[in-house]
Chain A
Amino acid sequence: MSTTELQTGAADQGAGPEKPPTPHGGGGFAVWAERLALPVAWLVLVVIYGALRPDTFLTWQNVSNIIASQVVLLVLAFAALMPSFVGDFDLSLGGILGLTAMVAGVLNIQQEMNIWLACAIGVGAAVVAGALNGLFVVYFDTDPLIITLGMGTVFTGAIFYLSGSNTIVGIDRALSEATFSTKFLGLPLQFYYALVILLIVWYVSSFTPLGLRALFVGQSRDVAKLSGIRVTRLRWGGFILGGFIAGIAGVLLLGTTGSADPTASGGFLLPAYAAVFLGATSIKPGRFNAIGTAIAVFFLATGVNGLQLLGAQNYVQQLFYGAALVIAVVLSRQLRRRA
């Protein structure tokens, strides 16, 4: 049920000693086609929508709108990557995002606290939430799927408790200026924050021993343990870092909307995981990776945006995201089976 089983399960089947070598090993067209399938699919979407709606779709305003509107989701997808790297799941990240925004919002408005301090406390709450997940899942050795599902509901309950079920409005404009309303090269500052996170995650996961160790933990936990890798520590790290980054996403959401809406965070988790799994079919197929995830976020956003410009109703978003998650998981399963 957890990512680990999802992966090792498939891998075990493929590990029979007489399994023939896969025909594609090194470079070759097939490998590159697989790696680049998602970016190419994205381009195809752009070309089709561009041909159908050149006046609206292919405008800078629409492009910057797509990019700007996805930053919170993009950052939350990076948060979801953290536990995914080490083979865990965190379904409470949406709740953590909302909790951070609400804590910061309530402190700023009801306690009249300085916005930066309020945000710092909000992110602190996110880290504590992540650590709680670590405690229950790693220390008490339970199924991450169920525990974080439960914790997510707890966090949602806390959001409603803190807000009294009301939207907190009138957040200090300084936050909005630092994140959303100030533009650089036509894009809000927070897009560049997300880029920085992308670069860090990409670099650490691909080019450092820490990233490789996390990969081992995620793909073969027993092997990692017997190789002297501190599995427990890395899994704690996955939950805590995931909480931390989800907290940042919460602050960005607060800055973007200028208010803390107790229901706002509900829709983020599923597209974030859709992007994470879709991203794992690309760039480094079969592995969760930051660049694939980022591309997937914008692929999904482009798909929805184009459909809406073509006149589709709002529900198309749910159809598209949901279907993308299912297809991504089926695809990555197929990739692993072949590998």
Chain B
Amino acid sequence: MSDTSSPGGAAVPPGEPPPRTAPPALELRSITQHFGSFRALRDVDFRVEAGEVVGLLGENGCGKSTLVKVLAGVNTPDAGGELTIDGRPVPLPLSAGQFRDLGLSFVHQDLGLARTLTVTENLMVGEAGAAASRKPINWRSQRRRTRALLQSYNVDVDPDLPINQLPPVGQALVAIVRAAEELKAYRARGDVGHSILFLDEPTVFLPEDQVEFLFELIRTVVAGGASVVFISHDLAAVRAICDRVVVLRDGQVAGEARIGEVDDRQLVEMIVGPVGGKLVGQAQRRAPGDDLGDAPPRCTVQGLRGGRATGISFAVRPTEIVGLAGLLGSGAEDVPYLLFGARKATAGRMTLDDREIVLPVLDPTTAVRQQVAMVPADRRRDGIAPSLSVGENATILVNDEYTQAGRLQGGRLRELVRRQLERFDVRPRNGNALMGTLSGGNAQKVVMAKWLEINPRLLLLHEPTQGVDVAARAEIYRLIREASTGGMATVWVSSDFEELATVCDRVLVVADGEVRAELTGDEVTDEAISSAVYHHTTDAAAVLADEVPTAS
């Protein structure tokens, strides 16, 4: 048993079985997994009782997904591990697709949807019998059935749209519905005792209002007799829905607890370890006494239209961090891209110091030249070049300043990268490592390092801590606050209101494409932001319906 610290008195030592009579729905014992010389999992025990919702927690790179992929038949663990399902031993490794026979269903981080096929086509794939069926497909009745199916889950997406034209949240909902249907099919088949649904970071794509929907769905699944494994960084969500949590750290089980018996601080300490825990939860608000006063704005935005923004105006003062809060479809999420020229605004002006920028003709090259920085939400697609090195990623914006007679100065660049990695605490401290091998938190730190290197006058952030572990998240808050003291104006768009409350000096509530309210000073709290957002959003539930494709 790989026992480690068992932080918090309430934590149950791992491995100690709770009183029970029936065998667990699923039990993994002594799972070790090497990738080359790298050990991703070490002697991990993991158990799911029938009808239980288990939270699987841990920082990025701690081995959560690796463990799940053992059950999905993707990873081949080292010899010596055992798997029992309903008390029945099942030999490891599992073959691809075997999880279906065992009654397991997965919603992976990348959702596993066919992006160019329609919602209807994607939902058909999971249907039992569809593959074996030789009957011609009656598309009209298929569409009708899909519509009814989506309605039964209260999901409002157009069955005829291809997946890649849905917003991320719509995509996530389709994936989850498909998995839930898969569970139903297992039960209908009748040859599995317990079906288990694995949700890998399901809340990453979901704004606050849709998370409740997810919980509803999980409850339905559990009421139907299934178990759920819930993998997440979102402690609030874990707390709301899980019965028990298992925490992985550096590939080992770091602790295990019933959810009612630990508080957030203890959970965080389990996740990041005793040292990292100190950083977490510390607000990165403006230091007391450091008053913005009557400083003139560094950046003003007037009449911004484009995407779902129908006329947004605001100003940001030097060193100020302004949060934009809004539900999906409010228009807030379009603002960073419009102000950066990554999407074309239809109207609007921005002043930056004394320079006037006409937004509809702005392009990213000009934006960067004006020292505007933007950290996009979709890190994997828009933020990092995974096949290039960490150093190349971190210095792409400034490398032309490190030249002599047009030739890159390797030595000075390496020195710069070394300083960046040190300052942003990127692990490993290896500028030659490929970007794609970094964990989410470290990758995001490199993205921050890259942008802060141009000394931005305006920093635009969209969900900058999505898929980032707790410790790295705190680190990112600190780094941005630190950078802003140099006079940088920051616009922070996030659907995580707790995050906004942690870092922002001022929060603007965006609804229906306009700024509807402003929260300042002591008003900037998680609760106040949520209630303002819901108060001002006229038709929160109907937002999904008129979602339009925005990705270029």
A interface list, Cβ under 8 A from B: 7-8, 10-12, 14-26, 203, 207-209, 212-213, 215-216, 219-220, 222-230, 286, 336, 339
State which of A8, A20, A212, A225 has its C-beta within 8 Å of the C-beta of B66.
Answer: A20
The stretch from B23-31, B33-41, B136-144, B522-530 touching chain A is: B33-41
Q: Are A212 and B439 in contact (CB under 8 A)?
A: no
Most buried by A among B374, B433, B435: B435
Give Cα A213 to B397, complex, Å. 9
Interface of A is mostly: loop
Least distance between A228 CB and chain B CB atoms (Å): 3
Which of chain B's residues have a CB closer than 8 A to the CB of A220?
A: 384-388
Most buried by B among A7, A207, A213, A226: A226
Q: Are B439 and A15 in contact (CB under 8 A)?
A: no
Which of chain B's residues have a CB closer than 8 A to the CB of A7?
A: 387
Which of chain B's residues have a CB closer than 8 A to the CB of A336?
A: 387
Which of chain A's residues have a CB closer than 8 A to the CB of B60?
A: 17-18
Q: Are B65 and A223 in contact (CB under 8 A)?
A: no
Which of chain B's residues have a CB closer than 8 A to the CB of A22?
A: 36, 38, 434, 437
Give Cα A295 to B389, complex, Å. 24
Give Cα A220 to B379, complex, Å. 12
Least distance between B504 CB and chain A CB atoms (Å): 23
Q: A18-B61, A228-B365, A228-B367 are in contact. Are A12 and B380 (CB under 8 A)?
A: yes
- Decide if B356 is an interface residue (CB 8 Å cutoff): no
Can you add 10 more A-B contacts, CB < 8 Å, to A208-B403, A208-B408, A212-B396?
A12-B380, A18-B63, A18-B64, A19-B436, A20-B36, A212-B399, A216-B385, A223-B383, A227-B368, A228-B369
Which of chain B's residues have a CB closer than 8 A to the CB of A17?
A: 60-61, 65, 109, 439-441, 443, 467
Q: Are A227 and B396 in contact (CB under 8 A)?
A: yes
Most buried by B among A8, A12, A18, A220: A18
Q: Are B66 and A18 in contact (CB under 8 A)?
A: yes
Q: List 10 A-B contacts (CB under 8 A).
A: A7-B387, A12-B380, A14-B436, A15-B436, A19-B437, A22-B38, A212-B392, A220-B388, A225-B342, A339-B436
Which of chain B's residues have a CB closer than 8 A to the CB of A10?
A: 387
Which of chain A's residues have a CB closer than 8 A to the CB of B36?
A: 20, 22-24
Q: Are B407 and A208 in contact (CB under 8 A)?
A: yes
Give Cα A24 to B35, complex, Å. 11
- Decide if B430 is an interface residue (CB 8 Å cutoff): yes
Most buried by A among B340, B406, B434, B437: B434
Least distance between A1 CB and chain B CB atoms (Å): 13
State which of A15, A21, A223 has its C-beta within 8 Å of the C-beta of B38.
Answer: A21
Q: A12-B380, A20-B35 are in contact. Are A208 and B406 (CB under 8 A)?
A: yes
Chain A: which residue is nearest B427 at the CB level? A21
Which of chain B's residues have a CB closer than 8 A to the CB of A286?
A: 387
